[in-house]
């Protein structure tokens, strides 16, 4: 009898060990479709995009854009191949494949050599005006174009008084076409764009945090400092809608919603209650209000105030806040901007390109180890295969940003073709380069000693430097769309 019990114990142990091994193997090899996080992300993005496309179409009924939806989708496929080396599939499995490709840490190999890249870009843009709209990061792209394509024989042309005061620059200038009278250097920087600029490209930048679309120069957002009521963070806005009419190519960008100012107070609170990343609802006069109610029912419900014990933030807290902020604020405002632009008959034929954002990378915060999705887990700050209610978050600001980037990329990639706008998805293969401001990323030793909260700015590139991987992807994407527009017809 004793011998029999011993054998039964060994058999039970062996079977239990086998079952545990199978379970661990299944988790180790699990695909994102098994992950609640990816399922929620992709399904929610699909539902939001479908609703946004319907609202866009109904708002612009009878007003066609420069590209049909079919042609716009063709153009987006061309753009994806140029930037990512293949067709993108921004679903659960596609996201998984993006962030575990071999050579992810290396820059994508440009399809063009550097000299040909410059020659192609200038030949496609010469005689045109290119306008960049966005925040200080977009100003970095302006600075990159200015350095890369400016006429070196005229030093005054490369000088810009800053993001808030940039007027225009002549780039892609053919040296034989430049008169010797220093055409770009004036005592008055607000000089007019030359009537005949067929020998060069006019480069312009206008700073706008939210792409607030108004033709009214006297709007209070343009005349006085504006603090966002939703986040407590200042929005910098300059009037830009009238300038679209004089531009041939417009590059739009819109960063994810910044972490609310009060999120830092909550971090130090002993009983924060909610996550501190909740945004205030829009009111009369807010850009988000027009379409706010069309997406509010899709958003995760506001969390209840509760005790978390030793866990200050859970992945569920920050993920839900990021998804909710996108659906109730970022998307309604972005949709209002698109409709405002395409509602103007003079702007429907404009070539608009939307530049995407990129994720905070692993060097910005402590790394984590795990199978298959280790790198994506690291940059998101939590295990995507685990229960989000139980996963602690060490740096909620990075997670808040990165979840928004993923979610908004899914939306934009599907929505923008309806507006005839190609989308440059920059977060492919992109390892941190010298364009990343590492000094602002992690905590320095002094701040760690003082117990300061983790710095949230590690994903921000230096505002005056865009180079390396991001430069390559951006320029290849722009060249591909400009070439395609020269051959595609609506």
pLDDT in tens, 244-259: 999 999 999 999 999 9
pTM for the full model? 0.81
Range in 22-31, 35-44, 62-71, 149-158 with the lowest mean pLDDT: 22-31
pLDDT for 30: 42
pLDDT for 103: 37
Q: Give me the chain's average pLDDT, please.
A: 75
User: For residue 22, what pLDDT band results from cuts at 50, 70 and 90?
Assistant: very low
CA angle at 51 for the pair 46 and 54, rounded to the nearest 5°: 125
Pair type for strands 201-207 and 234-235: unpaired
CA angle at 280 for the pair 274 and 284, rounded to the nearest 5°: 165
CA angle at 85 for the pair 83 and 87, rounded to the nearest 5°: 90
118-142 pLDDT tens trace:
788 999 998 999 999 999 999 999 9
Model confidence at 19: pLDDT above 50: no
Return the sign of the alpha-carbon dihedral for residues 140, 133, 72, 47. positive
pLDDT for 418: 94
Pair type for strands 249-252 and 129-134: parallel
Contact 330, 324 (CB under 8 A): no
pLDDT for 244: 94
- Token pair 């010298």 is found at 434
Contact 376, 99 (CB under 8 A): yes
Instruction: Supply the Cα-derived Rg of the chain in whole angstroms.
Output: 25
Q: What is the mean pLDDT of residues 76-80?
A: 87
> Residue 80, SS3?
helix
Question: Hey, which of 22-31, 78-87, 234-243, 431-440 has the most confident mean pLDDT?
Answer: 234-243
Task: Give the whole-angstrom CA distance, residue 323 versus residue 329.
Answer: 10
Greater confidence (102 vs 226) lies with 226
Q: What is the mean pLDDT of residues 5-30?
A: 48
Q: What is the mean pLDDT of residues 398-409?
A: 92
305-318 pLDDT tens trace:
555 555 578 888 89
pLDDT for 91: 65
Task: Give the whole-angstrom CA distance, residue 238 versus residue 244.
Answer: 13
28-43 pLDDT tens trace:
444 444 577 888 888 9
Model confidence at 85: pLDDT above 60: no
Contact 404, 428 (CB under 8 A): no
pLDDT for 6: 61
Label residue 324 exposed, middle or buried (CB < 10 Å: 0-12, 13-18, 19+): buried
Tokens of 130: 């290119």
Model confidence at 362: pLDDT above 70: no
pLDDT for 194: 66
The domain locations on the chain are 25-176+198-487
Tokens of 418: 């309806």
pLDDT for 2: 55
C-alpha 473 chain-centroid distance: 14
């Amino acid at each position: 009898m004793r011998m029999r019990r011993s054998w039964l114990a060994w058999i039970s142990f062996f079977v239990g060990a086998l079952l545990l091994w199978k379970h661990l193997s299944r988790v180790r090899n699990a695909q994102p479709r098994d992950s609640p996080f990816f399922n929620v992300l992709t399904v929610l993005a699909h539902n939001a995009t479908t609703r946004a496309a319907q609202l866009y179409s109904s708002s612009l009924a009878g007003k066609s854009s420069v590209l049909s939806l079919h042609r716009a989708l063709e153009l987006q496929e061309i753009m994806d191949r140029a930037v990512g080396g293949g067709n993108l599939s921004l679903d659960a499995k596609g996201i998984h494949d993006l962030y575990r490709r071999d050579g992810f840490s290396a820059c994508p190999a440009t399809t063009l050599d550097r000299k040909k890249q410059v020659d192609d870009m200038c030949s496609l843009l010469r005689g045109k005006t290119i306008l960049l709209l966005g925040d200080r990061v977009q100003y970095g792209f302006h600075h990159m174009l200015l350095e890369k394509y400016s006429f070196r024989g005229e030093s005054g042309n490369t000088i810009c008084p800053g993001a808030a005061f940039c007027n225009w620059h002549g780039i892609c200038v053919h040296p034989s076409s430049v008169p010797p009278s220093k055409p770009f250097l004036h005592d008055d920087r607000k000089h007019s764009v030359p009537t005949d600029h067929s020998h060069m490209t006019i480069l312009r930048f206008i700073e706008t945090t939210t792409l607030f679309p108004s033709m009214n120069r006297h709007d209070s957002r343009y005349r006085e400092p504006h603090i966002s009521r939703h986040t407590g963070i200042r929005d910098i806005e300059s009037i830009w809608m009238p300038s679209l009419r004089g531009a041939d190519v417009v590059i739009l960008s819109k960063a994810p919603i910044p972490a609310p100012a009060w999120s830092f107070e909550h971090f130090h609170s002993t009983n924060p209650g909610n996550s501190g990343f909740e945004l205030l609802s829009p009111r009369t006069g807010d850009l988000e209000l027009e379409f706010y109610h069309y997406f509010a029912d899709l958003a995760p419900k506001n969390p209840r105030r509760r005790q978390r014990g030793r866990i200050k933030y859970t992945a569920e807290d920050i993920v839900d806040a990021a998804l909710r902020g996108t659906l109730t604020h970022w998307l309604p405002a972005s949709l209002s901007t698109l409709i405002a632009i395409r509602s103007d008959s003079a702007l429907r034929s404009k070539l608009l390109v939307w530049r995407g954002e990129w994720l905070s990378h692993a060097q910005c915060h402590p790394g984590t180890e795990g199978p298959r999705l280790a790198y994506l887990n690291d940059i998101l700050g939590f295990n995507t295969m685990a229960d989000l209610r139980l996963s602690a978050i060490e740096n909620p600001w990075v997670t808040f940003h990165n979840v928004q980037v993923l979610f908004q990329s899914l939306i934009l990639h599907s929505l923008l073709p309806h507006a005839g706008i190609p989308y440059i998805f920059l977060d492919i293969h992109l390892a941190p380069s010298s364009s990343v401001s590492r000094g602002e990323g992690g905590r320095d030793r002094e701040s760690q000693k003082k117990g300061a909260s983790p710095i949230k700015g590690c994903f921000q590139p230096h505002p005056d430097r865009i180079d390396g991987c991001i430069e390559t992807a951006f320029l290849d994407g722009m060249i591909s769309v400009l070439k395609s527009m020269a051959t595609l017809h609506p």
